[in-house]
Amino acid sequence: MPKALFCMKALKALGQNFLTDKSIAEKIVALGELQPEDSVWEIGPGTGILTDEIIKNNVQLRAFELDRRLYKYLSARYENRIILEQTDILQVDWNSLIRKDGTPLKLIANIPYQITSPLLALLEEYSRFFSRIVLMVQKEVAERLSAKPGNKNYAPLTIRLRLVFDISSKIQVSREKFSPMPKVDSAVILLLPRENKPVIKHPEHFHKLLHAAFVHRRKTLANNLIPVLGKEKTEELAKLSHIDFGKRGEELAEEDFILLSDCLADL
């Protein structure tokens, strides 16, 4: 912890568990494969442990820090070497900022874990603007995002993100590497834009089916879809798609949901 921040009380509500191991910070930033002049975003620079490594690569860095105390510390420390915004990353206008920074963008962050789901949803929405994303997340989230169908960690968000990104878990980080020490371990994931992204022709059907299939995880696809589509339509959909509706939603791959939505549009 930098001397200037010794007396600062870490705020649990802002997920303030600061990474203390510089060698891990180096490994995280190396995953970004940064080139001079790259446009990079960092969410929650905190004490600057990742920021220091990022700016060594002569990139254009825009960092978002919500905590006013850290914002003041970081502004003094980095002056005009980075663009620093004191703001909530979930509230900023991603559209206009992305346009300002040009494409493609890289994102490197040790994120506050309580914003994981809304942040991943934003990354899904703006996926086409990012060429590389390196995120430290809770270990269980990393497992879920890199899970294959049939795994209990497989969930609708996993499927939606995997349609746009290839996701892999790269570094395991134990809780002892943070101050204050959190109750969970962490892992660093790498998200790369997927080549040949599958086309979803009927997004409204796709999202409806995906949601319905996971409402009751232990139920079969048939039992989850009947309340939404009705018995007759569900049976017709099973026939048309040749998918076994005795399976559970978590046993289906992302392509299966696309096939189901295409078939539903034909009914």
CB atoms within 10 A of CB 197: 12
What would the two tokens of residue 27 be?
A: 């490994």
C-beta closer to ligand SAM: residue 16 or 39 = 16
- CB 5 → ligand SAM: shortest distance, Å? 10
212 sits near ligand SAM (criterion: CB under 6 A): no
Among 5, 8, 14, 228, binds ligand SAM (CB under 6 A): 14
- Please state the closest distance from residue 29 (CB atom) to ligand SAM, in A: 11
Place of tokens 């992305």: 98
Tell me the C-alpha to C-alpha distance, in Å, between residue 101 and each of 37, 48, 61, 142, 149: 11, 21, 9, 28, 36
Binding region: 17, 19, 44, 65, 88, 110
Q: Is 84 exposed, middle or buried (0-12, 13-18, 19+ CB in 10 A)?
A: buried
CB of 254 closer than 8 Å to CB of 198: yes
Judged by CB under 6 A, the chain residues 54 through 93 that form the site for ligand SAM are 64-67, 70, 88-90
Residues 6+ apart with CB under 8 A from 259: 241, 243
112 contributes a contact to ligand SAM by CB under 6 A: yes
- Count the site residues for ligand SAM by CB under 6 A: 24
Binding residues for S-adenosyl-L-methionine are 17, 19, 44, 65, 88, 110
Candidates 110, 127, 158, 261; binder of ligand SAM (CB under 6 A) is: 110
At 64, which helix (H) or strand (E)? strand 60-64
Angle subtended by helix axes 203-213 and 156-164, to nearest 10: 140
**Among residues 43 and 82, whose Cβ is nearest to ligand SAM?**
43
Taking CB under 6 A as the criterion, which residues in 179-208 touch ligand SAM? none
- How far apart are CB 26 and ligand SAM at their closest, in Å? 12
Binding region for ligand SAM (CB under 6 A):
14-19, 43-47, 49-50, 64-67, 70, 88-90, 110, 112, 115
